[in-house]
Chains A and B, each alone.
Chain A
Amino acid sequence: DTTVKQNPRYKLARVGKPVNLICSQTMNHDTMYWYQKKPNQAPKLLLFYYDKILNREADTFEKFQSSRPNNSFCSLYIGSAGLEYSAMYLCASSREWGDYAEQFFGPGTRLTVL
């Protein structure tokens, strides 16, 4: 099974409320990533886990948190959603750390913040 699963596929949230998105893979991949994708924009890397080490991008450092309780699961947590968080959130995983490692993507979770 080479699929990356994401739950839920659609999420509606109120401004100021927390949001938790879930990603899973059963390929025993070392690295898991979260991207944010807005219409007409490129997917933007938010953070990634290499094994148990979390790396967050500098410009979104304070906006997103994540946890990886085991190799298969990774969550993306927004403590207080704002309108600007409305986007598609893509999870991906890769087998290895390195330049040529292919990233496998999930179908995404569409988050709408009202």
Chain B
Amino acid sequence: GEQVEQRPPHLSVREGDSAFITCTYTDPNSYYFFWYKQEPGASLQLLMKVFSSTEINEGQGFTVLLNKKDKQLSLNLTAAHPGDSAAYFCAVRNTGGADRLTFGKGTQLIIQP
């Protein structure tokens, strides 16, 4: 089955710097990708979802890049601020199975003032 490796597990950056998180998946049939953010004590909130046909998606203060060739999904938070401190999870769905998401183990991001 699908395996998703997320790195790094922990990341600390200064306010205003960038934070970069990557997920590498194994199933070449994976087509749909999701990034979730979880603040302490709160639910997982969807940051962005991308199709295989999308390579770069930009959100508010972040960019998601999908590299199908290397089977890699990345999240880049630009100019990080304290509100970005949270756990981030990538999730992958492939078209071969039923309605299942395979998650990465998560990245705990801390923004230092």
A contact residues vs B (CB 8 Å cutoff): 3-4, 31, 40-45, 48, 50, 55, 90, 92, 94, 97-108
A-B contact count (CB 8 A): 54
CB-defined A-B contacts under 8 Å, sample of 26: A3-B43, A4-B43, A40-B9, A41-B105, A42-B4, A42-B106, A43-B44, A43-B103, A45-B101, A48-B100, A55-B98, A90-B44, A92-B44, A94-B99, A97-B99, A99-B95, A100-B32, A100-B49, A100-B51, A102-B46, A102-B49, A103-B101, A104-B43, A104-B46, A107-B42, A107-B43
Tell me which residues across on chain B come within 8 A of A92, comparing CB atoms: 44
Closest A residue to B99 using CB positions: A97
Closest A residue to B4 using CB positions: A42
Chain B CB within 10 A, most for which of A43, A94, A98, A105: A43
Tell me which residues across on chain A come within 8 A of B93, comparing CB atoms: 99
Report how far A67 CA is from B63 CA in the complex, Å: 39
A74 → chain B closest CB, angstroms? 14
Flag whether B89 is at the interface (Cβ < 8 A).
yes
Residues of B within 8 A of A (CB-CB), count = 27
Closest B residue to A103 using CB positions: B101
Flag whether B62 is at the interface (Cβ < 8 A).
no
Known contacts A99-B95, A102-B49; decide if A42 and B43 are in contact (CB<8 Å).
no
Q: Is the CB of B99 within 8 A of A98?
A: yes
Report how far A98 CA is from B45 CA in the complex, Å: 19
B83 → chain A closest CB, angstroms? 18
